[in-house]
A and B are shown apart, each in its own frame.
Chain A
Amino acid sequence: MRFDTVIIGGGLAGLVAGISLQKEGRSTAIVSTGQNALHFFSGSFESLEQAPERMKDLFGEAGIRLHYSPGWRLMPMGSFREAALSLEDVSLLPEKHFADKTLIVGLPGYLDFFSGFLADGLEREGIPCSLRTLQLQEMQALQQGPGEMRSVAIARLMDRLWEKVVQELRVLLKDEDAVILPQVFGLRDASIPDRIRQGIPARVIFAGTMPPSIPGIRTQMQLKRRFEVLGGTYLAGDEVVDAHQHEGVVHSVVTRNLDSHYLEAAHFILASGGFYSKGLKSNPFEVTEPVFGLDVDYTQERSGWYAPQFSDDQPYLQFGVRTDEGLHALREGAPLQNLYAIGSILGGTRPEFGSGAGLAVRSAFAAVDQILENRV
């Protein structure tokens, strides 16, 4: 099967590249090995100072609204982090002392939202908090069932119940000028968080939960749908296991599901992610890129791969495949002319700062621009 471009990896970087190419009439296939880091997405693209117009357009056409309002984002554990460009779910605060009194509302039996830590964090900023738990009859079945009380299970319920939540909140709200809720609203319908904000006479902030991320899942679904509507081929749950390359040019890749049926293309984009997604692999002796055998930047001495303290900067997160300035991936020191590496396989991201999303989008655009320049 032949395409103009085959993209390995169906996460944010792969989808942004795929949508951009397909929109320009380049037939594109994305091979995705399971779901991706968008399921852990904070909702902020933190290394993009200002959204490029094309990014706003691309997301807007997929039905995803972004807002650019530099400020502070309230983190799940009650700390603050600077952020600017974000999904509309994410509230960006002009200053850390954003309210005089805050109401933090949890849900019964839901342990992935840390009201106590949030209150501690806010009280350090001099904001007194009252903690409440929303009692909803409809949540009882979920609490009593054998399944886990995770963000998605609750978000499915909230897609139906959010109006009732608004009514209950209006009763709970006394003299507080801000309400903090877990980010479990708007799994299917992106307009729900905003409608909740409109229904409550106080600033409403949705604080991140433990994964999976509700706005992240929705973003993944919207981007994938957009790619398919444009005519792109999304091969879900497949895996590129081998590549055919000759004299610095990649000709085709082999996937687990299509076995003897190779995917041929003029261009290839490697967006297979970092260690978690197995874009990079490690064993006790080396760090490798498994599909093309690309050159990887890493510290030779294994003791230098990690810092003993979990929360310290971890050197292994800087590891990534080597590229030239045009993002062409290097193999044995020489660039593969039609293979571009984008997203977190490049290394150098700091997941705890959410910089992966910014890198994914920027590098995807950079690769796409070069492919569009090189007419086939």
Chain B
Amino acid sequence: MKLQEYTESKHNFEECMKCTVCTVYCPVLQVNPLYPGPKQAGPDGERLRLKDPYFFNYALKYCMNCKRCEVACPSGVHVADLIQSARIRYDHSAPKLRDRILASTDLMGSLARPVAPIVNGVTGLGITRSVLDATLQIDHRRVFPKYSGRSFERWLSRRSKEQAAFAEQVAYFHGCYVNYNHPQLGKDLVKVLNALGVGVQLLEKEKCCGIALITNGMSEQATKQARHNVGALRKAVVDRGLKVVTTSSTCTLTLREEYPNLLDVDVSEVRDAILTATRYIYERLEKGATLPFRPDFHKRIAYHVPCHMEKMGWGVFSERLLRMIPGVEFTLLDSNCCGIAGTYGFKKENYEAAQAIGAPLFEQIRTVAPDVVACDCETCKWQIEMSTGFPVQNPISILAEAIE
């Protein structure tokens, strides 16, 4: 029907039937009485905002952008996209200094890296945390991620010849976390892919995917970085015919979905080539490739599907890959948000809510008491480690440990 083509609404908001199912699964609504909830903030509010921007409600900042409303919606409404788009369109207030700092992952990483031991020492001090709390409203109870003295980019670029020698190649969008905080995850990926006969290459100067900029009201900067990244991805995907793998579920969602849906940056040429490393590896194993698993590996693993992985629907690849490892006792944790949502849980005004949201997940982890929690998201990792004391590893790192 021609007619329906013309009646399709942005983010499908006209499809909302007012069934309220999204409000059942919104983690924020369960703990924060100031948040109007996904239905009101999303499709209900959109009707009013289209009439008059006056109806924009600043309480929309309480949305964590976890996308659970979209996973629950029976009518295909992009509820979270509606909310984030409204923030981009109507919230013109200048971001706070704190939000600029939290969102500028590349800048902070570059500054901290050369003096990592000092930064790590200082951010670990109670006094620093009290000062940050008082001056910037970064909650003093929050444990900060550590910085690494050497960047992953530098580590891999020194091995570019050795990597280029493999018959097959992939490009790796490593993200800020691997580059500045935890290069070991990148090294683990290189180990696993090399074992499959695949060499790993850097993209030409990748920048932070920009999700923290989007959620902290800096969409212009995010759009610039998105255009830059799409250019770098095009060179790998279109010019050189490479797949691009990732180890962060949120970076993946941002590159594939948030760029076109929130920033209007076209990714059609590269989108299908961007895969989480677990999907890429699982697909290779399914086609007959093998990994040299250690015979003596044993681990009890509880897998937490990060919200953005749930939205992409790719948790199944990580789950199946982990179940494939000989010696693994596997538990799938219930679908719950951990509460941190990137920079959200670092903010003083959100700390209590973040911990309350994560409570059911933390409780289940304590009950299962695994050797390690597996999870594809770095901020979930910080949150779960801080809140439960159980170690959290990316499935790729577990895989790297399980092979010779």
**Chain A residues near B (Cβ < 8 Å):** 1, 33-36, 39-40, 141-142, 145-148, 150, 152-153, 156, 211-212, 217, 225, 228, 233, 235-239, 255-261, 276-277, 283-284
Contacts and interface: CB of A to CB of B under 8 A. Distances in A.
A237 B33 contact: no
B21 interface: yes
B34 interface: yes
B73 A146 contact: no
Contact of B74 (A33, A142, A261, A284): A33
Contacts, number: 99
Given A33-B74, A255-B313, A257-B313, 19 more contacts: A1-B316, A33-B76, A35-B72, A36-B74, A142-B33, A145-B34, A146-B59, A148-B20, A148-B37, A148-B40, A153-B23, A233-B319, A235-B313, A235-B316, A236-B335, A237-B310, A260-B272, A261-B283, A276-B74
A146 B71 contact: no
Contacts of B76: 33-34, 239
Contacts of A255: 313
Contact of A283 (B1, B57, B279, B320): B1
B128 interface: no
B286 interface: yes
B310 A236 contact: yes
Contacts of A256: 313
Contacts of B134: none
Interface residues of B, number: 42
Interface in B221-242: none
A181 B17 CA distance: 27
Contacts of A225: 334
Contacts of B290: none
A36 B73 CA distance: 9
B39 A148 contact: yes
Given A212-B24, A237-B71, A257-B312, A147 B19 contact: no
Contacts of A152: 20, 23-24
Interface in B302-323: 310-314, 316, 319-320
18 contacts: A1-B286, A1-B320, A34-B74, A34-B76, A36-B74, A146-B35, A147-B33, A147-B37, A148-B23, A148-B39, A152-B24, A153-B29, A212-B20, A212-B24, A235-B313, A236-B72, A237-B71, A261-B283
Contacts of A258: 313-314
Contacts of B35: 146-147
